[in-house]
Amino acid sequence: MNKNRNTKSFKALLLIALDMGILSACCAPGVRKAPNAVQVEDTSAVQEDKTLKKEDISNENVMIDTVYGDWHVRVDTVDSKTKVKNSDEFVKKLVVTISKGGKVLFDKKVFTREDFWKGANEEFQVYAALAPDITNTSVYLPVSICYPETDDGFIVWLALSKDGSSKVYPVPLALDESDMVTNFYVEYIHELQQKPVDKASLLKLARDYGSPKFVEQLTKEGVDVVFPAKVLARKNMKVVPEAGLVKDGCLVRFSTSFDNTQPFDSIRVVLKERQVKKLYSNDYMIDKVIH
């Protein structure tokens, strides 16, 4: 991770980032990887103090409270007893409550800084202030891990699925339209790991990130058309995507893990400029993939 302080404001980066409003690691040129965080991991395996005490409830701060279809998502923060190093702030915990169709899937589930980055930099704080992206199967919550009161750090997707599982996805950041493509693939890959795979959710992501032409391509050629053959051959679709700008679009490279910087396959993505531009929306969208 780039240790130089990023002087751009968080809101400015948000406008640059991508359609669903996600930011990620501020890294040096070349292969941009997030710090050695939890990678892609079931956060329920982390052994930490996740209990909520009476004093925790008294300092809850509601960050997100939203309804989408039959989903109800609420995210609160509470202060722990540990101070952020070199700061007067206390390290925050995220408290997530999610229900779907009236059934509670996550009941005040606590996520700590260590869930997002094992051996986390003690000078970093945890924030969750951006609206989640939601499909039929999962809630994708952007979580910021940064120096207090700055945007210097990184952001990960916390994917919370209707089966009660949760995974963390650190995502590279280039601060250009390729970020939108990377994040589309991160969510799409997570959807393909759901059992059963929900085709409607895949097409929703295609509509969110792509043009009608892109949605038509998936409808006619199949939802797997976005991947090259070697990626489709990987068990459980556990691959790591990273897009980079090339002429007329992006080249999406796929690696076997965040630690492996040598991609084993790639695919070209054609981009199209949006005619109608909205706040917190990237100026470009995916128009088609080329094998």
Q: The CATH number of the domain where 183 resides is what?
A: 2.40.128.510
Sole residue written with tokens 């979580």 = 143
Q: Do residues 198 and 168 touch, judged by C-beta distance below 8 A?
A: no
198-212 CB burial, b ≥16 within 10 A, e <16: beebbbbbbebbbbe
Domain for residue 1, yes or no? no
Domain for residue 3, yes or no? no
Residue 53: which pLDDT band, with cuts at 50, 70 and 90? low
pLDDT of residue 282: 72
Average of per-residue pLDDT values in the chain: 82
- Judged against a pLDDT cut of 70, whether residue 52 lies above it is answered with no
Domain for residue 157, yes or no? yes
- Judged against a pLDDT cut of 60, whether residue 14 lies above it is answered with no
- Domain of residue 103: give its range: 10-290
What is d(CA 251, CA 233) in angstroms, rounded to the nearest whole number?
Answer: 19
Sole residue written with tokens 């051996």 = 119
Tokens of 131: 């609206």
Count the neighbouring beta carbons within 10 Å of the beta carbon of residue 283.
13
Parallel/antiparallel/unpaired status of strands 71-83 and 90-100: antiparallel
Domain for residue 4, yes or no? no
pLDDT of residue 47: 36
Q: Do residues 165 and 42 touch, judged by C-beta distance below 8 A?
A: yes
What is d(CA 198, CA 207) in angstroms, rounded to the nearest whole number?
Answer: 15
**Quick one: how far is CA 6 from the chain centroid?**
20
| Interval 231-263: pLDDT, tens | 999 888 889 999 999 998 999 999 998 777 799
Check residue 149 and give left, alpha or beta (phi > 0: left; psi -120 to 50: alpha). left
For residue 113, give every residue at least 6 positions away whose Cβ sits within 8 Å of its Cβ, in sequence order, or none.
91, 92, 120, 124, 125, 126, 145
pLDDT of residue 278: 62
What is d(CA 171, CA 181) in angstroms, rounded to the nearest whole number?
Answer: 11
Distance, first Cα to last Cα, the chain: 32
pLDDT of residue 23: 36
Domain for residue 236, yes or no? yes
Domain for residue 148, yes or no? yes
- Name the domain count of the chain: 1
pLDDT of residue 144: 86
- Judged against a pLDDT cut of 50, whether residue 38 lies above it is answered with no
- Judged against a pLDDT cut of 50, whether residue 119 lies above it is answered with yes
pLDDT of residue 131: 86
pTM for this entry = 0.80
Domain for residue 5, yes or no? no
H-run or E-run covering 140: strand 138-146
Sequence letter at residue 264: F
- Judged against a pLDDT cut of 70, whether residue 22 lies above it is answered with no
What is d(CA 106, CA 126) in angstroms, rounded to the nearest whole number?
Answer: 19
pLDDT of residue 280: 53
Domain for residue 272, yes or no? yes
What is d(CA 133, CA 20) in angstroms, rounded to the nearest whole number?
Answer: 6
What is d(CA 174, CA 253) in angstroms, rounded to the nearest whole number?
Answer: 14
Least confident of 90-94, 130-134, 207-211: 130-134
pLDDT of residue 16: 34
Peptide bond into 196 cis (omega under 30): yes
Q: In the predicted model, what is the mean pLDDT of residues 12-25?
A: 37
